[in-house]
Amino acid sequence: MKQEELEQRWSECLSIISDNIPASAYNIWFANIRPQKFAEQVLWLAIPSQFVYEYIEEHYIDLLYATICRVFGENTDLMYRVQIDKANELSVDQESSNRRASISQPQTSAARKSTNKAPGPISVATQDLDPMLRPNYSFDNFIEGESNRLPRAAGNSIADNPGRTIFNPLFVYGASGVGKTHLINAIGLRVKELYPDKRVLYVSANLFKVQFMDAVRKNTLTDFINFYQSIDVLLLDDVQEFVGPEKTQNTFFHIFNHLHQNGRQIVMSCDRAPSSLQGMEDRLITRFKCGLVAEIERPDYNLRKAILTSKVRRDGLIISNDVLDYIAENVTDSVRELEGILNSIIAHATILNREPDVTLAERIINKAIRRAPREVTLDSILNTVCNTCHVTQEEISSGSRKRSVVQARQIAMFLAQKHVKDITLTRIGECIGGRDHTTVLHSCKLVMNQLNFDKELSDNVTTIEKALLKR
């Protein structure tokens, strides 16, 4: 097909798409896509970034496929040429997840995953059970750090020997977005890889409740229970959703007992520890605690940076270390928020046709996150004082009587007493050259008295405080 005709047909596609989605979405995700070629009933589209490719595949693939089949023909396949390095004009070819083979099979596993219906009268012998797992939530991209080392190690052990370790059940808890769902999915994927015949099922507690109520309404509760008792590895997400309904808890209690007594593996996630599940039956709580209870904490800086670096490398993106450092320092609550901010920065950079930089990252983070003031520590004070006053920490802790060193030492003591929570004068003195509390008290009073008439001192203190409290 000639390029002119290709462009014309793609314009028809864009016209149809623009009629079916908001203008803002069209401008972000479709306006910069260009048709490259149409040969052997395959349409090739040039995509400006990996992020745009993934977003379209996740949110707009059905609309896109329906449109190109209408304009280019029913048997049209779709391929992408995704730009990964704009400066060097590098790109990679990616298949669409919804190629022709899958069009002819409407009951795909993806379609089954979206159902909220109860399992119904499913035979225990059924071999083609859809485990409902997310293929992108694997151990390969579950980055290890101090905050998740124990639950990750337990998860690996379980995946190698499901039902035959002391970690049964495994109860993982933590705040939203720290990686609980990722971990239990990773366990399921590894089990299916090592033991293909195992009946593995991932299900949210909320879906379990919906299925239970549906089974009660249809008088198929026995089938429902038999189905769950046939599972070899049960991965139950968001257990806190069980709080309240006694009948659901009672049914799960009997399913739990059957699985546990028969050596089946149970893995659960929750947003709080078992002891904090008010409204949950005591007999369930005791069973939750009979294996391993492990917390996934909020990621520290090193883990946040490692997660960002891994995602950038995995997605073939080019983002400077300065930007990644800034995100890791300022987005602290969860992995989900961390990746969301990175995606947002990439999207804005794509739309604005500019490279992602710290200025763009700062603007997006300030809009997206309501951040508490950064906690001030004695170490951060000493670092900032040294940088501002051009002295070293060794000089501050020494017995030097040079004016610049003495003033830096006094400022550090003053700011530590003012900003560091629950620190004593004695502790400040110990950390700054082993001085006693009277020396620290004298320095604090001296700085306080001089602030009103010593402009250089006042400016230095103001500069240091702004740096310390910068959000």
pLDDT tens digits, 165-174: 889 999 999 9
Q: Which residues pair with 95 in a beta bridge?
A: 79
Mean pLDDT of 343-360: 80
Beta bridge partners of 265: 233
Domain boundary among 339, 368, 397: 368
The arithmetic mean of pLDDT across residues 235-262, rounded, is 90
**Are 291 and 307 part of one and the same domain?**
no
Say if residue 246 is in the same domain as residue 136: yes
Q: What is the pLDDT of residues 294-337, one digit of tens each?
A: 999 888 888 888 888 887 877 666 788 888 888 888 888 788 88
Report yes or no on 414 lying in a domain: yes
Nearest Cα residue to 310 out of 288, 355, 342: 342
Of the residues 250, 277, 295, which one is the last residue of a structural domain? 295
CB 468 within 8 A of CB 376: yes
| CA gap 148, 213 in Å, rounded | 35
> What is the pLDDT confidence band of residue 268, given thresholds at 50, 70 and 90?
very high
Task: Decide: helix, strand or coil at residue 362.
Answer: helix
Cβ burial 438-469 (10 Å sphere, 16+ → b, else e): ebbeebbebbeebeeeeeebeebbeebbeebe
Residue 338: pLDDT band with limits 50, 70, 90: confident
Q: 365 pLDDT exceeds 60?
A: yes
Q: Is residue 65 within 8 Å of residue 101, measured between CB atoms?
A: no
Burial of 75 (0-12, 13-18, 19+ CB in 10 A): exposed
Same domain, 167 and 282: yes
Residues 184 and 283 in one domain: yes
Q: How far apart are the first and last CA of the chain?
A: 55
DSSP 143-195: ---TTTHHHHHHHHHHHHSTTSSS--SEEEE-STTSSHHHHHHHHHHHHHHH-
Could you list the residue range(s) of the whole structural domain that residue 175 is in? Answer: 129-295
- Would 228 be classed as within a structural domain? yes
Give the mean pLDDT of the chain. Answer: 84
Domain shared by 263 and 307, yes or no:
no
Q: What is the pLDDT of residue 451?
A: 87
93: in domain: yes
Same domain? For 240 and 148 the reply is yes
Domain final residue, candidates 368, 403, 418: 368
SS3 state of residue 37: strand
Cite the beta strand spans of 271-345 per DSSP E: 292-295
Report the C-alpha gap between 170 and 387 in whole angstroms. 48
pLDDT digits 0-9 by tens, 93-115: 887 876 543 333 333 333 333 33
DSSP 366: H
Q: Are strands 42-47 and 77-85 parallel, antiparallel or unpaired?
A: parallel
Length of the chain (residues): 471
The arithmetic mean of pLDDT across residues 152-177, rounded, is 91
Number of domains in the chain: 4
* Tokens 């366990």, located at residue: 187
Q: Which two tokens stand for residue 383?
A: 């670092």
User: What pairs with residue 91 in β-bridges?
Assistant: 83
> Domain check: are 171 and 265 in the same one?
yes
Q: Are residues 158 and 278 in the same domain?
A: yes
Does 113 fall in a domain? no
Question: In CATH, what number is assigned to the domain containing residue 253?
Answer: 3.40.50.300
Please indicate, yes or no, whether residues 324 and 265 belong to a single structural domain of this protein.
no
Beta strands (DSSP E) in 96-140 are none
Say if residues 275 and 285 touch (Cβ distance below 8 Å): yes
Report whether 18 contacts 26 (CB < 8 A): yes
